[in-house]
Amino acid sequence: KQEVTQIPAALSVPEGENLVLNCSFTDSAIYNLQWFRQDPGKGLTSLLLIQSSQREQTSGRLNASLDKSSGRSTLYIAASQPGDSATYLCAVRRLGTSGSRLTFGEGTQLTVNP
Amino acid sequence: NAGVTQTPKFQVLKTGQSMTLQCAQDMNHEYMSWYRQDPGMGLRLIHYSVGAGITDQGEVPNGYNVSRSTTEDFPLRLLSAAPSQTSVYFCASSRTGNTEAFFGQGTRLTVV
């Protein structure tokens, strides 16, 4: 059974700091890994998708890496801003009994202080 | 772009009542899924569909039914609501089984 773990569960940083969020998964037989952002009371917003054959993806101040063999992904946020405050979730997609399915970590709650 | 639309946004049910949570997407996506999100449990997969007429169970399917008669719609039915089904429900879709997933804004359900 695939398990996804995110560390730390919560993180508080001053504005402007560079930071790294971690995601680990137990089964390396994945199709892809996706990072999401969730604001309080809202839905999930997709940030980055990394296919299993890729090592990293970048979007603006965000960079996500994937090391499938070790079962790890990191989300790097450069020059953090108060608007980055949210919960960040990672999810891995793997084969199910019919088609593929996403398995989520519990998230890292990020607070960026002005 | 409407994307993934869920209705209603909020609902209060009494134990034993039935209801249907609606989910529609306008992106012609084949894959659609339902998740529930509970504190300390993360998002857990309830049911999913890989195309019209095809559905399968996820981690926590008991108490929920689904069907997929069209590509666009994937309703989730609670036949007899229980307090344990109090949660936030999210619908998601993706073009295929290996592409980016998009989520709706959620339905907050309370069963009293």
The string of pLDDT tens digits covering residues B32-53 is 999 999 988 889 999 999 999 9
Best A34, A104, A108 residue to mutate vs chain B (most B CBs within 10 Å): A104
Strands (E), chain A: 4-7, 10-14, 19-25, 32-38, 44-51, 56-59, 62-67, 72-77, 86-95, 100-104, 108-113
DSSP string, B73-87: B--EEESS--GGG-E
By the CB < 8 Å criterion, does A46 face chain B?
A: yes
Report the C-alpha gap between A94 and A101 in whole angstroms: 6
User: Coil, helix or strand for B101?
Assistant: strand
Task: Please determine, for residue B62, whether its predicted confidence score (pLDDT) is greater than 90.
Answer: yes
CA distance A18 to chain B (A): 26
What is residue A28's predicted lDDT score, i.e. its pLDDT?
A: 86
Over residues A59-98, the pLDDT tens digits come to 999 999 999 999 999 999 999 999 999 999 999 998 776 7
CB-based contact (8 Å) between A31 and chain B?
yes
B66 three-state secondary structure: strand
Quick one: how far is CA A53 from the chain centroid?
17
Task: Note the pLDDT of residue A97.
Answer: 67
Q: Is A102 on the interface with B (CB under 8 A)?
A: yes
Write down the pLDDT at residue A32: 94
| A28, containing H or E segment | none
Residue B29 C-alpha, separation from nearest chain A C-alpha, in angstroms: 14
CB contact under 8 A, B31 and A99: yes
pLDDT digits (tens, 9 = 90+) for A9-58: 999 999 999 999 999 999 888 999 999 999 998 999 999 999 999 999 99
- Predicted confidence at residue B42, as pLDDT, reads 87
